[in-house]
Amino acid sequence: MNERLIIGIFGFGVVGQGLYDIIKTKKLNLEIKKFVIKNADKKRTLPAVLFTTDAEAILGDEEINTVVELIDDADAAFEITKRALKSGKNVVSANKKMIASHLEELTRIQQEYGTSLLYEGAVCGSIPIIRNLEEYYDNELLHSVSGIFNGSSNYILSKIFNDSQSYDVALKQAQDLGFAETDPILDVGGFDPKYKLAIVASHAYGIYVNPDDILNIGIDKLDDRDIRFAKEKRFKIKLLPFAKEINNNQVVLYVLPRFITSDNILFNVENENNGVLVKAAFADEQFFYGKGAGGHPTGSAVLSDIAALRYGYRYEYKKHLEASQIQYSTNYKLTVYFRYAEEATLNQLQFDSIVERFYGQDFKYVIGEINLQEIIAKKDVINQTGNFIAEVLL
């Protein structure tokens, strides 16, 4: 049944405008009744009658049956989403922090009130990874899910390695193009991909993990010495979230920069593009590639969710029903490159083994095996000025 959707949209920024641009080119059984925005004085491309600053214009309107949430404030987005679902309205959201932080509660609300929350646009822009994990891989044993989940950091790294730009110049260019915020730490610090990883893990393995419990270290401490090392070894650096099942009943999750070689399919994923690599027991390796940033790519994912609601689509969370024995673990060994400024810093880290060590006047690093738990415990030490850590596959 193709149900007619009466839509209220919170936010009219880059994604909201992109969504509207796409909708107006389509003949769909829907109507956008109202936008709620924060700044009433800002000039808009649509008639003023469509806009209001009053949330009740959407949440209190019984005719509106679908809420699209596209705002930056995760706390406000949660209150909007929670109230909408409880009042019988379905919700489409692109707010990865809100969803990752409250997914277990939001899932329970959907089940209790018979409503649907869809959020394909919250993870990897135009790539339909959530729907694929829900439907295509619903009965599949997944060995791992990893990839490039953040277009901003990938754009910066692409400019560094392909155009020999400095980190600062590449970051400024990403900001000028709207890929990175004025305060870019959510992207370059690995927070954005961490939120997305928590959502992906939920649909891949049926577990709820608080994103605060997932290690994220970004590329904000990257400097010319690390870039020179990578180029000499014919590596590129990518900021990669990683989910992997270990010991048959445990899942490990983390976000770290990683040195990768040219035989890795992610090596040539450049600029604002994203790539998701799924390794499964029966389907083997599969790769998803597409635009990860921008109003139209994310808007297309949001519209896909809106269109699915016309036919009553809901996430079934089937893997959660079967995942009672799966536990989140941080007991996992990995090999890392660690560039450090002071010997005292290195002495505070407990490596299981060191396979390479370089000591120069202004450049000191080790490559060795270390437990993820040790990195988590010493994250503040590792993140001190003058240090940089990245995973490396030998």
- Condensed to tens digits (0 to 9), the pLDDT of residues 159-181 reads 999 999 999 999 999 888 877 77
Name the helix (H) or strand (E) containing 6: strand 5-10
pLDDT tens-digit series, residues 75-132: 999 999 999 999 999 999 999 999 999 999 999 999 999 999 999 999 998 899 999 9
We report the CATH number of the domain holding residue 191 as: 3.30.360.10
Find the mean pLDDT for residues 12-37. Answer: 88
Length of the chain equals: 394
Task: Output the pLDDT for position 324.
Answer: 67
Q: Predicted confidence band at 15 (pLDDT cuts at 50, 70, 90)?
A: confident
Residue 138 has a pLDDT of 86
Model confidence pLDDT, tens digit, residues 243-263: 999 987 899 999 999 999 999
Band of pLDDT at residue 39, cut at 50, 70 and 90 = confident
State the total domains in the chain.
Answer: 2
Residues 241 and 387 in one domain: yes
Q: In angstroms, how far apart are the furthest CA atoms of the chain?
A: 70
Note whether 58 and 103 are same-domain residues.
Answer: yes
Q: Judge contact between 8 and 58, C-beta under 8 A.
A: yes
Q: Does residue 378 share a domain with residue 232?
A: yes
Average pLDDT (55-65) is 96
Identity of the highest mean pLDDT range in 29-33, 44-48, 133-137, 213-217? 213-217
* 1: pLDDT strictly greater than 60: no
Residues 103 and 214 grouped into a single domain: no
Residue 323: is its pLDDT beyond 80?
no
pLDDT greater than 90 at residue 357: yes
The residue written with tokens 């990839």 in the block is: 147
d(CA 394, CA 298): 36
* CATH number for the domain harbouring residue 83: 3.40.50.720
**Residue 122 to residue 120: CA distance in whole angstroms:** 5
Residue 193 lies in domain: 138-291+325-392
| Average of per-residue pLDDT across 224-228 | 95
Last residue of a domain, one of 304, 321, 338: 321
Helix residue ranges, H only, 114-190:
129-134, 151-163, 167-176, 185-188
Strand 90-93 and strand 66-69: the pairing is parallel
Q: Among the ranges 12-26, 36-50, 102-116, which has the highest mean pLDDT value?
A: 102-116
| Pairing state between β 142-148 and 250-260 | unpaired
Residues acting as catalytic residues = 196
When pLDDT is averaged across residues 36-48 and rounded to a whole number, the result is: 86
pLDDT of residue 180: 77
